[in-house]
Amino acid sequence: MKTQVAIIGGGPSGLLLSLLLQKAGIDSVVLERQTKEHVLGRIRAGVLEQGLVGLMRDVGVADRLDKEGILHDGTVLSYGEDRLRIDFREHTGTPVVVYGQTEVTRDLYDARDRLGMDTVFEVEDVTLHDLDSDAPSVSFTKGGDTVRIDCDFVAGCDGFHGVSRKSIPASVLREYERVYPFGWLGILSETPPIHEELIYANSDRGFALCSMRNPMLSRYYVQCSLSDKVEDWSDEAFWDELKRRIPSVDAANLVTGPSIEKSIAPLRSYVCEPMRWGRLFLCGDAAHIVPPTGAKGLNSAAADVHYLNEALRDHYLNGSDAGIDSYSARALARVWKVERFSWWMTSLLHRFPDQNDFDLKMQQAELAFLRESDAARSALATNYVGLPY
Ligand code: PHB
């Protein structure tokens, strides 16, 4: 096989990149290790920045998002019984859109199907070759056959555990990491959301988040111990714990019901540098991970995709490699600011096992300053709605 850009990974970043390239007349092939059903079964965060919404519009995939996405003009932070609202619209003029990442992925697949764009699912043994030459290639096996794709470039959109980052020589790669000493236990339930906006709660018992997907589907999380198992948490125990971590005025509005999904996710901050090696470009989780506080995972992947799309357009349409040469530095400049914000939100709102009284006072002072300072709330809002590309 032959293509211009081989895209490793059929998650939202790879799919979005393929559609943006297609619009510019650039040919690509998407390889995915799992089945489509598996990809669409993954539940991720559900808050979209305007930048990502704009990219979805650019590729003509925003109809359902425009209809079903819920605009949020602000969010609530709580500390015990104290509530503080951050007004995005007042500080930035911009709302965020609540729409599940799973739905974004579904819309991107549907658009690719309409355009007759093929995805190769269930590929195994994906190997990247000659990335530091002018003629890279990708090989994989599928159903016992070995296939090779000759290409000009490889886009590594295959997540934290994918092969792309591992194809960069260890002598070149620098890694930066923080692993947090707790996880998030999340449930999805077919119940009306507790409040019209998200509630991020810090409490003596730990962090909790009240989120939503639509008017009859809610997503809730509580900070849990890394040794906890999903089986340890009955629905009843979850609801009980959630209620104790949020202000009582909100707890009074909680509608509980059976969970339709329950899972535990660890929290990690991670960045690798550089994000380009030869003809390989990393996008999204393949290069960086954020803890979910602030919902930046997909949004920061979308910014990478935007930079890479511009770089490849410049190469193919304008004969300039300036974008390719600056891709890593441009993407990382934004990535680090998003890492900082996600780390800051996580540090502000969670209870750390080794936290002493001084650390607790720092969280309280930070929240008091947010309450009193327009500038502090504006900084939070600016980061939450999304830094410019
Ligand atoms: C979610 O709805 O799953 C969600 C929302 C906001 C976050 C993280 C997760 O910060």
Convert the pLDDT of each residue in 1-29 to its tens digit: 999 999 999 999 999 999 999 999 999 99
Q: DSSP code of 284?
A: G
Residue nearest to atom 7 of ligand 1 (CA): 295
Please give the mean pLDDT across all residues of the chain.
97
pLDDT band of residue 384 (cuts 50, 70, 90) is very high
Percent of the chain with pLDDT over 70: 100
304 closest CA partner among 272, 275, 277: 275
* 101-133 pLDDT, tens digit each: 999 999 999 999 999 998 999 999 999 999 999
Distance between CA atoms of residues 97 and 142, nearest Å: 38
pLDDT at 42 over 90: no
Alpha helix (H) residue ranges in the chain: 12-23, 36-41, 50-58, 63-68, 88-92, 101-114, 163-166, 235-245, 248-251, 297-318, 322-349, 357-372, 374-385
pLDDT at 44 over 90: no
Question: Which ligand 1 atom lies nearest to the CA of residue 44?
Answer: 3
CB of 213 within 6 A of ligand 1: the answer is no
Q: How many Å lie between the centroid of ligand 1 and the Cα of residue 292?
A: 7
SS3 label, residue 37: helix
Average pLDDT of 55-71?
97
pLDDT at 43 over 90: no
Does residue 272 contact residue 174 with C-beta atoms inside 8 Å?
yes
CB of 211 within 6 A of ligand 1: the answer is yes
pLDDT at 383 over 90: yes
Give residues with Cβ within 8 angstroms of 74, minimum separation 6. Answer: 85, 86, 87, 88, 89, 90, 197
Give residues with Cβ within 8 angstroms of 66, minimum separation 6. Answer: none
Instruction: Give the residue, out of 88, 195, 198, with the most ligand 1 atoms within 8 A of its beta carbon, to mutate for a pocket test.
Output: 198
CB of 294 within 6 A of ligand 1: the answer is yes
Distance between CA atoms of residues 18 and 7, nearest Å: 8
Q: What is the pTM of this model?
A: 0.97
Whether the ω angle into residue 12 lies within 30 degrees of 0, i.e. cis, is no
Residue nearest to atom 1 of ligand 1 (CA): 45
Owner of token pair 């970043």: 13
pLDDT at 45 over 90: no
Owner of token pair 């974004």: 104
For the residues of 183-252, what is the DSSP string, one character each?
Answer: EEEEEEESS--SSSS-EEEE-TT--EEEEEEETTEEEEEEEE-TT--GGG--HHHHHHHHHHHS-HHHHT
Catalytic residue list? 72, 200, 292, 296, 384
Average pLDDT of 142-167?
97
Which pLDDT score is estimated for 50? 97
